[in-house]
Structure 1
Amino acid sequence: MSKSLQAIRGMNDILPEQTPVWRYFEGTVSRLLDNYGYKQIRMPIVEFTELFKRSIGEVTDIVEKEMYTFEDRNGDSLTLRPEGTAACVRAVLEYGITGGGQVQKLWYIGPMFRHERPQKGRYRQFHQIGLEVFNLDGPDIDAELIVLTWRLWGELGIRDAVKLELNSLGTSESRGRYREALVEYLSAHHDKLDEDSQRRLKTNPLRVLDTKNADTQAVLVDAPKMADYLDDESRAHFEGLKARLDAVGIPYVLNPKLVRGLDYYSKTVFEWVTDKLGAQGTVCAGGRYDGLVEQMGGKPTPGVGFAMGIERLVLLLETLEQIPEEISRQVDVYLCAFGEEAELAGLALAERVRDQLPNLRLQVNAGAGSFKSQFKKADKSGALYALILGDDEMAQQVVGFKPLRGQGEQQSIAWDALAAHLATCVVQG
């Protein structure tokens, strides 16, 4: 017998009972971004491999270990996108929409792909919402990105469960000076570093700061601090960001070891973290990348952005029980019709109601069935009310109206008064 078909490990189906929460989260985010003046962009999920090598950095874990890369029929090396910033930069360069200093405030949503060890909150196909802003170089736009996420956490009811961590990586020049000092210090303690940190010391030494190894963390206690190597411009930028967060009243923690896992960051970096999801604590992260557009062949263009993981934020909503009750209900009203004539009348009546109440979730029974079976389906749908059309109702041109959740007697409503009655009852319900 052939092996049964199943999804690839770490690439999960999102089933019908799960999608309402996703739609609630995505809808909340998209409305918020509309209100802040961001425009959506949609990029392909496959790009030339060279794009990610040039942007993310060839000695990063993502490029070295995690990318899904393959050769197509033309012999081109292609990669499923592991993150969204590089693809977004490629798009704005290709179409010239940041030329002449044009400010672009963009957002995107979709799947990303990394070959990691699957675990709760970390998957090989995962979904992100990302924001990218081009041609604004001040701390005001950095602050706006953080402020809008703070507002989002408030709308979702999870503010008390997340914490903001901040750092500044300075310019490439100041970061280069810090890198030299850090390498000199770590080299003197080489034997005390874990194996992965010893490897990173030669390839990407700033990533050693991000280690989870306790012994290496002990070595880092007396390591040089990035703040001591910041240039005046970066220091002023960082102070401006903190002043704006203070003005809005957003609490934050300075984390000198926060470096992010991608080579293109400069100046501001930040993460929103939680202790409610175990090891997978980062739910949103980003920062400034002023040199990336030029690195990818464009003119010098300031850039800043972030990405949030949808799986982790949905999991956080579920863990904290912050999902509105009505989200799980997919049907407001269920119409039961008995007999051919009633089915025809019910179909027409349902469409007239939908014309008058376009936001009403009205499901018409399909597949006929007895009174008992149709009511069983109505109850299973989660509807608040059932509508009944049988011989008696047809003769009187009324519809039976029966509450399915809570108290209330069945009553008869004239066809031409049904929409108005539903508008009142469903809103009140």
Structure 2
Amino acid sequence: MSTQFQLMTEQRFRPFFFTQFLGAFNDNVFKTSLITLVAFHAVSLTTIDGGTLATVLPGLFILPFFLFSATAGQLADKFEKSQIIRYVKVFEIGIMLFASAGFFLHNIGLLAAALFMMGMHSTIFGPVKYSYLPQHLKETELIGGNGMVEMGSFVAILLGQVLGAWLAIQSSHEIITSIAIIAIAALGYWTSRGVPNSPAAAPNLKINWNPITETYRNVKFIWQHQTIWLAIVAISWFWFYGATLLAQFPNFAKNVLYGDESLFILLLSIFSLGIGIGSLMCEKLSKGKVEVGLVVFGAIGLTLFGIDLYWSGISVHESLNNKYLLDYMDFVSLHHDMHGNIIFTYWRLLADIALIGFFGGLYIVPLYALIQTRSEKSHQSRIIAANNIFNALFMVISAAFSIWMFKQGYNIPELFLTTAILNALVIIYLCIRQPEYLKTFVAWMKP
């Protein structure tokens, strides 16, 4: 049996895995339920336009990463981690009680505040999440452990989004959504009680409560360690690429593929499962060591299948007409275009999305393991916190870049094509700045 699956039988990993899984799951159940509610029932909540709210609310979730990451990193380095995890889980239960009041009172202010606090919850948990693993796993287990965590995170996001959307459209959504989010939070706290003791890395650290000066200090520290700096840039670029695709999937399904909500869910599911499988494959492909050559291999796949997604998307769009409104079953069973010609592009498009996810998993897991193994132990959590700030920044830039592209008259497939080409430039830059990536990739490719 693979080491990464053996970890699920061990106390040092299993409670932590399920705690982080349930946290990501609840984040997305609540967030998606709220955004779906806003999209379809905004009038019952507020006079603010639903489209405006759907744009602003995700920003409220991301904002705490800028405000509190620097402090969260210091707390994770200064204090014992399992205790922080349990405090965070108690905080989550409180947030979900607060959110439930918002659902019952149809109060958008309470719901927006709860979303902001869930962003705080994720901000505090993030540095603990990635600095916990190197404390409890051997270096040979880090790739497998990170692969399991990334797989779990994306499966949790997928399931959370599906459940959240379903809860929001039920007639008695207030009560069933409230019961679900409180129950998931309580279950997360229960699993957190099994997380083993994780001693503080820097117990004598003096907390700097000013997020601006502390963020500057962290960035300055990382810049002095270029291997870590470039790994963080590479990780943040992945979040730019992923955020660009995921944000456009609903309109891609509707306006390019002429599909309904079920087709969007199919695209999201295939992408998430692709990342999960890619993440799990990292351990086998890296042969038990931190194999940064996989980053280059993953990046090549992200570019090639991103480019092909453009071609397959255009082909499907042109082969149909806007009289179609396909559900996911219609889409996967289509074999002819509107002229009766046999085509295979539909399956090719789904394969492109699955393989973008798969190569994304191969790309991201070794980068997290690289940070964990090469960071100074006393600064590990603060480095992860700085990474989270950059991730959030790149996701905001992704949204701005997409808006700019559309204002220039480009369509969604062309946005995907541009992102795939930019990905090639990023990995070339990475290999030039850090030749280790290319050298290890060449060595890894040799039989």
Give the TM-score band, short-chain normalised.
Answer: under 0.3
Q: TM-score, normalised by structure 1?
A: 0.23
- Point out the structure with the larger strand share: 1
Q: TM-score, normalised by structure 2?
A: 0.22
Q: Which has the higher contact order (CA 8 A, sep 6+)?
A: 2
- Point out the structure with the larger helix share: 2
